[in-house]
Amino acid sequence: MTEACEILAAADSTAVADINIETQQAVEQFLYRQAEMLDEKRIDEWMALFGVNGWYWMPAEADQVEGDGEPNIFWEDQGLMLMRNARNTHPRAHSQAPHNRLNHVVSNVIIESENGDGDIIVRSRFHCAEYFRYQIRTFSGKYRHLLKKTPDSYRIALQRVDLVNREGPYDYVLQWWL
């Protein structure tokens, strides 16, 4: 199994950690800033939030515990993220002319655990409106982040994104991460 998936799968997804307010605030700020980077298309900064072996994962089915080797909506490491960004910003990415716009609201931030190294498992909920093709689409779902502590902040080892309408059908594709 992918190590980060294994850690998330083994952790109690209803746990509530007894955490100090500074950590709670730091983690919330991290999540808010991550969403803001997507909304403002500061993609290089967004990608840099992920560790070298970090994954952005949107499973196709609710009971999935592993991204590797399974069908997924998203399963991307930094290489595939670089490719997606290069494609979406290419002058001939027809369907990104004009670019879409995203607007996230992230809330219900509950830290599940903090280990001795300061690594965090945190769950939260999001709403996201996308303006594309002169219409608004909305997405809603749950994030679960596995964050590795760094000297000054965190790096994402795994971000799991469960859409409420995960099974689709999808009205047009998701060109950017949510």
Rule CB under 8 A: which residues touch other proteins?
Answer: 58, 60-61, 69-75, 79-80, 82-84, 86-88, 90-95, 133, 167-175
Q: Smallest Cα–Cα separation from 150: which of 122, 117, 116, 113?
A: 117
CB of 7 to other proteins, least distance (A): 23
CB of 133 to other proteins, least distance (A): 7
In the complex with other proteins, which residue's Cβ is closer, 87 or 127? 87
Strand, helix or coil for residue 3:
helix
Strands 50-59 and 72-76 come out as antiparallel
Q: List, in order, residues 6 or more apart from 60 with CB less than 8 Å away.
A: 70, 71, 72, 73, 166, 167
In the complex with other proteins, which residue's Cβ is closer, 9 or 17? 9
Strand, helix or coil for residue 95:
helix
In the complex with other proteins, which residue's Cβ is closer, 78 or 103? 78
Q: How far apart are CA 141 and CA 152, in angstroms?
A: 29
CB of 140 to other proteins, least distance (A): 15
CB of 84 to other proteins, least distance (A): 6
CB of 175 to other proteins, least distance (A): 5
Consecutive H or E run containing 86: helix 78-88
Strands 50-59 and 154-163 come out as parallel
Q: How far apart are CA 133 and CA 147, in angstroms?
A: 35
